[in-house]
């Protein structure tokens, strides 16, 4: 093989490698976008559930907690 043939074969191989890398980059980019599109609704649902549970717990905690001022007022009224 002469140097010109070697250069031509190297050029062809580099072009082949470049095409494969471009395909791999496109596949990776598409996979990343697909993953993000699928993950967004799940993240929103989890966030909504956390906020809902937090609101429900804080509301139920406020509802169950007796007011001290009413207890004191009732106790005071009972002794009068």
| pLDDT for the residue 64 | 59
pLDDT in tens, 22-71: 999 999 999 999 999 999 999 999 999 999 999 998 887 766 555 556 66
CA distances from 51 to 39, 40, 55, 65, 70 (A): 18, 17, 6, 21, 31
Distance CA 51, CA 49 (A): 5
Domain ranges of the chain: 3-79
| pLDDT for the residue 65 | 55
DSSP 9-40: HHHHHHHHHHHHHHHHHHHHHHHHHHHHHHHH
| pLDDT for the residue 67 | 54
Under DSSP, is residue 24 helix (H, G, I), strand (E, B) or coil?
helix
| pLDDT for the residue 30 | 97
User: 């509301």: which residue's tokens?
Assistant: 59
| pLDDT for the residue 68 | 55
| pLDDT for the residue 28 | 98
């Amino acid at each position: 093989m002469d140097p010109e043939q070697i250069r031509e074969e190297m050029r062809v191989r580099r072009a082949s490698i470049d095409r494969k890398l471009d395909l791999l980059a496109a596949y990776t980019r598409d996979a990343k976008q697909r993953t993000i599109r699928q993950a967004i609704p799940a993240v929103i649902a989890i966030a909504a559930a956390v906020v809902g549970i937090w609101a429900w717990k804080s509301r139920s905690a406020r509802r169950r907690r007796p007011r001290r001022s009413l207890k004191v007022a009732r106790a005071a009224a009972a002794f009068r």
